Chains A and B, each alone.
Chain A
Amino acid sequence: DIQMTQSPSFLSASVGDRVTINCKASQNINRYLNWYQQKLGEAPKLLIYNANSLQTGIPSRFSGSGSGTDFTLTISSLQPEDVATYFCLQHNSWPYTFGAGTKLELK
Chain B
Amino acid sequence: EVQLVETGGGLVQPGRSLKLSCVASGFTFNNYWMSWTRQAPGKGLEWVASITNSGGSTYYPDSVKGRFTISRDNAQNTLYLQMNSLRSEDTATYYCTREDDYWGQGVMVTVSS
Tally of B interface residues using CB under 8 Å: 16
> A87-B45, A98-B45 are contacts. A46–B101 as well, Cβ < 8 Å?
yes
A-B contact count (CB 8 A): 42
Please determine whether A43 and B50 come into contact, CB atoms closer than 8 angstroms.
Answer: no
Residue from B61, B100, B104, B106 within 8 A of A46 (CB atoms): B100
Hey, which bits of chain A sit against chain B, CB under 8 A? 1, 34, 42-46, 49, 55, 87, 89, 91, 94-101
Please determine whether A95 and B101 come into contact, CB atoms closer than 8 angstroms.
Answer: no
Given the complex of chains A and B, what is the CA–CA distance between A99 and B46 in angstroms?
A: 10
> Could you mark each residue 24-41 of chain B with 1 if its beta carbon is under 8 Å from any beta carbon of chain A, else 0?
000000000000000000
Additional A-B contact list (10), CB under 8 Å, known A1-B61, A46-B100, A98-B46: A42-B105, A43-B95, A43-B106, A44-B45, A44-B103, A89-B47, A89-B100, A95-B61, A96-B50, A101-B44
